[in-house]
Amino acid sequence: MFSVRLCFLSSVHTPENIFRKTFLIENKRNIKNRKYQIDPQRKDPLGLTSLSSVQSSEMASSALARISNLQRHFDPTESNNNKGGSDGFCGDLIKISPEVSEALLRGDAVVALESTIISHGMPYPLNLETAKEVEAIVRTNGAVPATIAILDGIPCVGLSMEELERLAILGKRVQKTARRDIALVVASRGNGATTVSASMFFASMVGIPVFVTGGIGGVHRHGEHTMDISSDLTELGRTPVAVVSAGVKSILDIPRTLEYLETQGVCVAAYKTNEFPAFFTETSGCKVPCRVDSPEDCARLIDANTRLKLNTGVLFAVPIPKEHSASGSIIESAIQRALKEARDKNITGNAETPFLLSKVNELTGGASLAANMALVKNNALVGTRIAVALAQLRKSCNKGNAESVS
């Protein structure tokens, strides 16, 4: 497995060298050599051609901005106090699988995947089978899957089959980990299944622009009284990662969730429809401000959001396929009964959503779980196509820029 280390340069400050040395991805987590050695046999190790002064300046600025951003994530005290000199670097805080690392270095499509659905969303061995099928869908359609989790206190981006199986077997014994829980799980060397917010955080940290999930969290029903609002929404408001989902889980308050996303400045786009989907069903009765009809449309939207430096996520809401859509009235009836039971048992916080989903599945005779599996796989297919289109768009732009310079 690869580890991310960050090196800050003091000797050669040309824009090209700053760009070359921004990230150091090493094979050994405990490597002692802290300097980044460029292969002397290659004149241009990263494939950079001669650059104009304007482009060089832009590249250097972008590289330094990314260094600053990651340094702030990894070690805010060093960022503030500037301790450690020119040879300062972050510790072994995150592990990236070789497959994911190589794809990112090549600029190929990578799709981030959460792990909470594995540990808390489905029973074993169905959760493991579904996770493998989702990763297979991503690979078959031209991208590299990067399932995210925290194992033994180490955030991992890209899991091996053994790690996936371990996570699936542990199930609910793994801590459900949102952004607020990351430091605790890492510090205690625990195991964490990342929610949407935590998965977005790590995806952004390593440079994965597209993340696929079943459905995002949102404003809970009666949230105007409880203030129970998922951190997924605030993460979308501050982390530039595109999220592909079947909308908001139908156990939540969809209209208020959309209002909250608007307040956060998040672009919400429905895929091939004008109405926001309701997770188990295709429609929710809520209109969306933006519609996209192809992976290319989505890629252009993500690219524009990135180039404008809006620093927010984009939410792509993909309706569940018609053949798998459950009856809206049956689902709604089950949700109301599940909500009442949750209130009676005083089940709140991050335990509420898994309980509600499990109860709804029980009340619908397994229909909601089957629908959940179907929508996750469909989201993986659509999300992969978006990631591939985005990678192609960026490679095309880079090629065009290189040709204009030459």
Task: Write out pLDDT tens, residues 154-211.
Answer: 999 999 999 999 999 999 999 999 999 999 999 999 999 999 999 999 999 999 999 9
Query: pLDDT: is 57 or 173 the higher one?
Result: 173
Same domain, 182 and 294: yes
The Cα 6–Cα 74 span in angstroms is 9
157 and 203 Cβ atoms separated by less than 8 Å: yes
pLDDT in tens, 215-260: 999 998 888 888 989 999 999 999 999 999 999 977 899 999 999 9
Residues 102 and 207 in one domain: yes
Please tell me whether residues 2 and 104 are part of one structural domain.
no
Angle (CA) 320-108-268 rounded to 5° is: 35
pLDDT at site 283: 87
The verdict on 77 and 103 lying in the same domain is no
* Whether residues 75 and 105 fall in one domain: no
223 contacts 256 by C-beta, under 8 angstroms: yes
pTM of the model: 0.77
String of b and e for 355-380 (b: at least 16 CB within 10 Å)? bbbbbbbebbeebbbebbbbbbbbbb
Per the rule left: phi > 0, alpha: psi between -120 and 50, beta: everything else, 255 is: alpha
Specify whether 129 is located in the same domain as 71.
Answer: no
- The per-residue pLDDT for 352 is 84
Residue 17 and residue 152 in one domain: no
93, 112, 138: which is the final residue of a domain?
93
What size, in residues, is the chain? 406
Domain-embedded: residue 4: yes
> What's the confidence (pLDDT) of residue 35?
36
Instruction: List active site positions.
Output: 114, 249
Please indicate, yes or no, if residue 316 is contained in any of the structural domains: yes
41 in any annotated domain: no
**Whole domain around residue 17: which residue ranges?**
1-29+65-82+89-93
Residue 90 has pLDDT above 80, yes or no: no
Q: What is the rounded distance in angstroms from the CA atom of residue 339 to the CA atom of residue 343?
A: 6
Q: What mean pLDDT is predicted for residues 21-45?
A: 40
328 in any annotated domain = yes
347 in a structural domain: yes
Question: Residue 36 falls within a domain, yes or no?
Answer: no
149 and 76 in a common domain: no
What band does 318 get if pLDDT is binned at 50, 70 and 90? very high
* Of the candidate ranges 55-64, 256-265, 304-313, 350-359, the one whose mean pLDDT is the lowest: 55-64
Four-residue CA torsion sign, 192, 234, 339, 249: negative
100 and 1 fall within a common domain: no
Answer whether residue 399 is part of any domain: no
Query: Are 271 and 140 members of one domain?
Result: yes
Number of domains in the chain: 2
In-domain check, residue 152: yes
Q: Mean pLDDT highest for which of 11-20, 78-87, 202-211, 316-325?
A: 202-211
> For residue range 348-357, what is the model confidence (pLDDT) as tens digits?
887 888 888 8
Distance CA 119, CA 173 (A): 8
CATH number (domain holding residue 360): 3.40.1790.10
SS (H, E, C) the chain: CEEEEECCCCCCCCHHHHHHCCEEEECCCCCCCCCCCCCCCCCCCCCCCCCCHHHHHHHHHHHHHHHHHHHHHHCHHHHHHCCCHHHCCCCCCCEECHHHHHHHHHCCCEEEECCHHHHHHCCCCHHHHHHHHHHHHHHHCCCEEEEEEEECCEEEECCCHHHHHHHHHHHHHCEEECHHHHHHHHHCCCCEEECHHHHHHHHHHHCCCEEECCCECCEECCHHHHCCECHHHHHHCCCCCEEEECEECCCECHHHHHHHHHHCCCEEEEECCCECCECCECCCCCECCEEECCHHHHHHHHHHHHHCCCCCCEEEECCCCHHHCCCHHHHHHHHHHHHHHHHHCCCCHHHHHHHHHHHHHHHCCCHHHHHHHHHHHHHHHHHHHHHHHHHHHHHHHHHHHHHHHC
User: In this structure, are 73 and 100 located in the same domain?
Assistant: no
112 and 223 belong to one structural domain:
yes
